[in-house]
Structure 1
């Protein structure tokens, strides 16, 4: 068993360094080895040398399928530990799962902590899981999920580990009793159900855990690091392959069924240059074309003067009603208003002085001006007017202003 070598004061210092400079804490579960947010796995990966002080640790920079494919010729008598701590093994194809099964079957050990295991992997090892909080995704709802874990081993059986957030009720539902050993439990509805099991497979074994959240920075800094250390202490003392799970397989046939056109171009130097030059040319074309062309300026039609149309409409209304007197009055009012504004003559008294002054300023003959003013005075006194009188007045006014 690996003994716990963590120092509490060191964790407190790390906590200050990790979160003091953060303006806003990222509470998303990411399980990234280089992520210092609460639910990254930076601390557990950094402390791997303390957990396995005498063993060589390799952080895989390639898919486990590719690694095993090209390292199968190594000494088969040297066994290794494989560790994967993630939300789900989404980069694990069916071929990857089979290669990992063969790897363990030869006498190696695999420690896998996931929220979701691949179906083909569960079928191969004959187990099923049940996650009662599978539909819980939001950060506030996850924060409400608490849990209590126990380890079955005699050295730990009197210790309970309580966790205050993001603990999904995820456990193993069915498994083979002949090749499975329950190593840890979680309390669900007052009943202890397995969340940490060991499945023997060939000469090796799988250690499976349904709550990878316990390995994140948040719990490494909140006094729960002992539980994580105890879980990993079940692994034998041998070389460790730590899967950071950052790349898909390059050689799995399942990956080559749907090849990427960009990957094909990047595999050939000439095609790579062709791709880059084409993209650069397209970018330059769009840039210069955008500068040379402007959007057409929309034509804004001028506002229409509807005064004439409105006047015609009103005039037609009066004509249809045979209200000639009303139109005569409006024509007179129009004439006098225009005289006031155009010639600046007072129209309150239409006497001889007014007629002489109007004739002089307008340029009309005195006799014609006198006749127009006398007609206006006569029509203004009438109660009713005929159509002929209206037309005659209209023509006289038009001739007066057209002079």
Structure 2
């Protein structure tokens, strides 16, 4: 190593250390943007709600990461269900699909600070916006829920509904204090009949954000969803960044620590190339790579098993490997292959429950030392397990 190179390396390390000190002492910046992203841990993200949603809806909640139009175009026949939309800018055709489903008897809860004009025209209401930063209380009109209130005092934007049709039922409002003892109430939660079903429109998504769910112990957010019928709920959680590039480079640039690490790496590589541009590359001898005989070994073992015809042993080993992968990759307990195991595997893989049930049945057969296993059983189980692990 030359003397000049040591000097350059020392300077680079000093710069790197100084940048590291500044980064360590840098105060974290809190993102107060109202993104309402189910995976965001920022104050106005929905990470906490997303985590508790299954329990809140009685484990009868299905998350759909596509638009309502795409989902309902594929699912031709769907029984009556609840539709949950939280702060989404959907396309017109998706809104038409939702209107059709509610008209047929389903219920839809729309939690959003803005709604399309075509929906306002169809349901006969208008969304009212007050840009005042005055804090206010969220309350229900039902006297049984009188004590369940929530104070909105962080970045309030006080939105509600106006020009409400007489057939529309008001379920909740936000209440602000005026001069003296005056109080002002604005409807922010309404129930609108449409065909055979109902729309539940709520204009305050901040109430179910991370900030208020963790800061307040009020039962208000829980009671908000109690108005929905007791039936399956479909939550359309399609990412707001759908259509944007999801490349690794975009992910790196979106995270400050990774972005700084990339800049430092590029700078270091540039300095290295500049200071070593005049160095001559020695001839690199050609070294033949070691021959990989692993595939030949696997084929030999496979042929040995086929000659023996011991399909029961092969089936048991395949099942053992599959359960090991499930524990390692999906973190699912495989000690009991019951209905709870089947449901968890279905939720994490997206594979149909019928397919998983058939696979579990064959796994149990493979684990039974006294079962009669045929070649067709092994081929069928091998195909099902490969499909689940894709």
TM-score under structure 1 length normalisation: 0.50
Q: Is the 8 A contact 2:150 2:218 kept in 1?
A: no
**Per-residue deviation, 1:121:** 1.1
Across the two proteins, how many residue pairs are aligned to each other?
216
Runs of 4+ in 1 over 4 A off after TM superposition: 247-250
For residues 235-277 of structure 1, give each alpha carbon's deviation from its aligned partner in whole angstroms, at most 9, with x where no partner exists.
Answer: 1111111111327999xxxxxxxxx9x9xxxxxxxxxxxxxxx
The unaligned stretches of length 5 or more in structure 1 are 1-21, 137-143, 251-259, 263-290, 292-403
Equivalent residue runs for 1:259-338 within 5 Å = none
Counterpart pick for 2:136 among 147, 159, 165:
147
Q: Is the 8 A contact 2:160 2:188 kept in 1?
A: yes
- For 1:110, what is the secondary structure of its paired residue? strand
Paired with 2:210 and 2:50, the residues of 1 have a C-alpha distance of 10
- Tell me the residue number matched to 1:67: 71
Paired with 1:46 and 1:158, the residues of 2 have a C-alpha distance of 26
- For 1:47, what is the secondary structure of its paired residue? helix
The unaligned stretches of length 5 or more in structure 2 are 1-26, 246-273, 275-390
Q: Does 1:176 align with 2:181?
A: no
Counterpart pick for 2:62 among 58, 68, 79:
58
RMSD: 2.6
**Per-residue deviation, 1:224:** 4.8
- Tell me the residue number matched to 1:199: 192
**Per-residue deviation, 1:183:** 0.3
Cα distance change of structure 1 residues 249 and 222 upon mapping to structure 2, 3 Å threshold:
closer
- Tell me the residue number matched to 1:82: 83
- For 1:49, what is the secondary structure of its paired residue? helix
Paired with 1:145 and 1:191, the residues of 2 have a C-alpha distance of 12
Q: Does 1:161 align with 2:150?
A: yes
For residues 41-79 of structure 1, give each alpha carbon's deviation from its aligned partner in whole angstroms, at most 9, with x where no partner exists.
Answer: 011111011111242x211111111111111224xxx31
- Tell me the residue number matched to 1:106: 104
Cα distance change of structure 1 residues 104 and 224 upon mapping to structure 2, 3 Å threshold:
farther
**Per-residue deviation, 1:24:** 2.5
Counterpart pick for 2:212 among 206, 219, 222:
219
**Per-residue deviation, 1:213:** 0.8
- Tell me the residue number matched to 2:226: 233
Paired with 2:194 and 2:162, the residues of 1 have a C-alpha distance of 19
Whichever of the two has the greater Rg, that structure is: 1
- For 2:174, what is the secondary structure of its paired residue? strand
Paired with 1:235 and 1:117, the residues of 2 have a C-alpha distance of 20
- Tell me the residue number matched to 1:48: 53
Counterpart pick for 1:122 among 104, 110, 120:
120
**Per-residue deviation, 1:117:** 0.7
- For 1:45, what is the secondary structure of its paired residue? helix
Greater shift, 97-106 or 217-226, is seen at: 217-226
Q: Is the 8 A contact 1:30 1:39 kept in 2?
A: yes
Paired with 1:207 and 1:37, the residues of 2 have a C-alpha distance of 26
Counterpart pick for 2:36 among 31, 35, 54:
31
Paired with 2:145 and 2:36, the residues of 1 have a C-alpha distance of 26
Paired with 2:39 and 2:52, the residues of 1 have a C-alpha distance of 13
**Per-residue deviation, 1:174:** 1.1
